[in-house]
Amino acid sequence: MQRFFGAILALIVLVSCKEKKELVQQLEPKEPVQKPIVKHFGFNLDNFNTEYDTIKRGETFGELMLKNKVEYPKIYSISENYKDTFDVRKVMVGKPYLLLKSKDTAEAAEVFIYQNDKINYTVVDFRDSSAYAYKGRRTVRAVEREVAGVIENNLSETLDKLGVDYNVTIDLSEIYAWTIDFFRLEKGDKFKVIYDEHFINDSVYAGRGPLKAALFEHKGTPIYAFPYVTDSLKNILDYYDQDANNLRSTFLRAPIKFGYRLSSRYNLKRRIAYYGYKVRPHKGTDYAAPVGTPIIATADGTVSESTRRGGNGRYVKIRHNGTYSTQYLHMKKQKVKRGEFVRQGDVIGWVGMTGNTGGPHVCYRFWKNGRQVDPLREKLPSAEPIADSLKANYMEHIDPLRIQLDCIEYVIPEPELEGDQLTLNP
């Protein structure tokens, strides 16, 4: 019994000691909590008066600094000695900047921070006897994102509803440009994609990284896409499918990336009312687009002609190899000259209405062995697949990415009620 009461007493004492200790802790004077120093662009803004603004039209760096009480010799030093770091002649209208000023009555500018873009910035420091400039880069955190969707109308609209950067739409359309016609997608086609989103301070969106992996299911056929560098010396990166085949073809499907309409196809039996319905063969493929739309080379090659002639108007012709050549007619203006080497996707001119044309378009002509043929009916050669010596490494590389893609669930549009009728989101 005594042992029982002793245990109870010890427990009471223990509880009392705990309460006493907590009371003492509450009564003890606490040390003041120091406010953490937050730095922006490497500076503690509490040490300065700050001014945020943007470069105005007609405003020069020199005038802006003189207005903010910076000595002329320092301005001259920056403009002459730091051209490679900060070319004062190239400050752009609308670009944001931050001025850090002294906290005295003079409020003279001590530091000028020019924001080149969301990530990169340039610092001009006037605090020393001789001013100097240097480049900086804000800390960016990459967050991997998985996206999956089912096509209702088109790819762009579907990705937009999922809150995806429009550049991902462009990336997908370029990767699959040789295997999928994005103007003829079918309702129910599916896609999955893995990529990184970049954030500044965990909140400010700063763009996206290249696609890490993708899957597009078109007409029930799944086509995977994985980036892989086959030549480390030249850093050549291409996208390959699940069987190590290159998704890139030697030729693009069209000489315009977006916003075109196939207005007239290759037709050797075409008849035109204006010419009395006589047969007037059309040996080109017309892509209608607004004046000024960029025209791109559909494959690597050397410019053999860049001139203006008769009904062709302004045009460019490219020799790709001993078998193939392409020609691009009715340009508003050419961007390349004869003898220049161009890469697939390079802009070579802009859509216009020169020569015989009833509206703005590019007439795309395709030669094979010196004879004009229909590019939409040609079985165009594919780019080289991965070499056998690299295939095992490639398969090992894509295995976890393929598993990750397969595990992503598709987002099916939820039905919504409009009045008394059940409809699906378009």
The full set of domains in the chain, from first to last, is 39-137 (3.10.450.350), 140-249+382-426 (3.10.450.350), 261-373 (2.70.70.10)
Residue 325 has a pLDDT of: 92
Q: Report angle CA 375, 381, 383 to the nearest 5 degrees.
A: 130
DSSP output for 266-313: -BTT-EEGGGTTEE--B-SEEEE--TT-EEE-SS-EEEEEEEEEGGGE
Confidence category of residue 25, pLDDT binned at 50, 70, 90: low
> From CA 182, how far away is CA 155, in angstroms rounded?
8
pLDDT at residue 424 in the model: 35
Which pLDDT belongs to residue 421? Answer: 44
d(CA 245, CA 95): 44
pLDDT (mean) for 189-203? 92
Task: Please check whether residue 111 is in contact with residue 43, taking contact to mean a CB–CB distance below 8 angstroms.
Answer: yes
Cα(344)–Cα(33) distance, rounded to whole angstroms?
A: 61
Greater confidence (238 vs 133) lies with 133
* Range of lowest pLDDT (110-114, 205-209, 281-285): 281-285
Q: Is the pLDDT confidence value at 241 over 90? A: yes
Please tell me which residue, 348 or 321, carries the higher pLDDT value: 348
Please determine, for residue 203, whether its predicted confidence score (pLDDT) is greater than 90.
Answer: no
**Distances from the Cα of 421 to the Cαs of 114, 161, 412, 424, 426, in angstroms?**
55, 22, 19, 10, 14
pLDDT at 271 over 70: no
Buried b / exposed e over 93-129, threshold 16 CB at 10 Å, is eeeebbbbbeeeeeebbbbbbbbeeebebbbbbbeee
> Which pLDDT band holds residue 275 (cuts at 50, 70, 90)?
low
Tell me the residue type at 35.
K
pLDDT at residue 61 above 70?
yes
CA distance readout (Å), 87 to 79, 93, 131, 270: 7, 14, 14, 57
Mean pLDDT score of the chain: 84
pLDDT at position 213 over 90: yes
The pLDDT of residue 36: 65
More confident residue, 19 or 12: 19
Per-residue pLDDT averaged across 354-369, rounded?
90
| 320 confidence band (pLDDT: 50, 70, 90) | confident
Mean pLDDT, residues 18-43: 62
Residues 346-350: what's their mean pLDDT? 95
At position 312, the amino acid (one-letter code) is N
Note whether 380 and 366 are within 8 A (CB).
no
Q: What is the pLDDT of residue 267?
A: 72
Least trusted range by pLDDT, from 167-176, 220-229, 318-327, 377-386: 377-386
Is the predicted pLDDT of residue 266 greater than 90, yes or no? no
**pTM of this structure:** 0.58
User: 9 falls in which pLDDT band (50, 70, 90)?
Assistant: very low
pLDDT at 220 over 50: yes
**Which residue(s) pair with 98 in the sheet?**
52, 113
- Report pLDDT for 145: 95
74 alpha-carbon distance from chain centroid: 38
Q: Quick one: the chain helix, strand, coil %, rounded to 5?
A: 20, 35, 40
Q: Quick check: 414 pLDDT over 70? A: no
What per-residue confidence (pLDDT) applies to 225? 96
The C-alpha R_g of the chain, in whole angstroms, comes to 32
**Strands in 71-189 per DSSP E:** 96-101, 109-115, 120-125, 132-137, 140-150
